[in-house]
Amino acid sequence: MKDKGVAYLLWCGGLIGVCGLHRFYIGKIGTGILWLCTLGLLGFGQLIDLFTLSGQVDTENLRSGAIALLPGRGRRSLAGKRCPYCAEMIQSRAVLCRYCGQELEEVVQVVKSPAPQRVVRALGPNELECPECSAGNSINAAECRECGASLM
């Protein structure tokens, strides 16, 4: 995961003539070489990066999978997921990958509900009522003597 503080510290290298170090750090090797050879596009590119560097670091962290998008973050309100075909980050609600064009299967999560609780009433000190047929059974019985339902 790339750190914004380190990126801005490397950006400050441009103030002493070593431009583009921040671009190497966030994985933009080509433009890092360009910034290094042209003094940050004569300072204009370096100045623009001062205002866009935070977003560039976030984009690199998303691209590398170091962070996921979290709800409640402005325009990034959708959690991301990786396409199972090309591994690019896409929106969680996507049904078609915008990079490779593959249709994505909708993931359906099956949640098992717990079995309903069955209430076995006591009819007396040594007798239980079957929840299925209401027949009286011995307190030690595992199954109903009338219908065979479990008393456990």
Count the Cβ atoms, other than its own, within 10 Å of residue 122: 10
Number of structural domains in the chain: 3
- pLDDT at residue 94, as a whole number: 76
Q: Do residues 133 and 126 lie in contact, with contact meaning Cβ atoms separated by under 8 Å?
A: no
Same domain, yes or no, for 48 and 95?
no
* Helix, strand or coil, per DSSP, at residue 129: strand
Alpha-carbon separation of residue 126 from 141, 142, 147 (angstroms): 10, 14, 19
Same domain, yes or no, for 50 and 98?
no
- pLDDT at residue 85, as a whole number: 80
Which band of pLDDT confidence, cut at 50, 70 and 90, is reported for residue 22? very high
Same domain, yes or no, for 52 and 103?
no
- pLDDT at residue 48, as a whole number: 95
Cα Rg of the chain, angstroms: 32
Same domain, yes or no, for 38 and 59?
yes
Same domain, yes or no, for 131 and 149?
yes
Last residue of a domain, one of 27, 46, 63: 63
Which of 16, 13, 84, 92 lies closest to 53, judged by CA? 13
Q: Do residues 19 and 10 lie in contact, with contact meaning Cβ atoms separated by under 8 Å?
A: no
Average pLDDT over residues 83-102: 79
Same domain, yes or no, for 19 and 53?
yes
Task: Note the residue count of the chain.
Answer: 152
14 or 66, which is more confident = 14
Average pLDDT over residues 79-95: 76
Same domain, yes or no, for 31 and 58?
yes
pTM above 0.75?
A: no
Question: 100 lies in which domain range?
Answer: 72-109
Q: Taking all residues of the chain, what is their mean pLDDT, rounded to a whole number?
A: 79
Same domain, yes or no, for 59 and 78?
no
Same domain, yes or no, for 76 and 104?
yes
Q: Do residues 13 and 19 lie in contact, with contact meaning Cβ atoms separated by under 8 Å?
A: yes
Name the region of 67 (left: φ>0; alpha: ψ -120 to 50; beta: rest). beta
- pLDDT at residue 76, as a whole number: 45
Same domain, yes or no, for 10 and 30?
yes
Q: Is the pLDDT of residue 108 over 50?
A: no
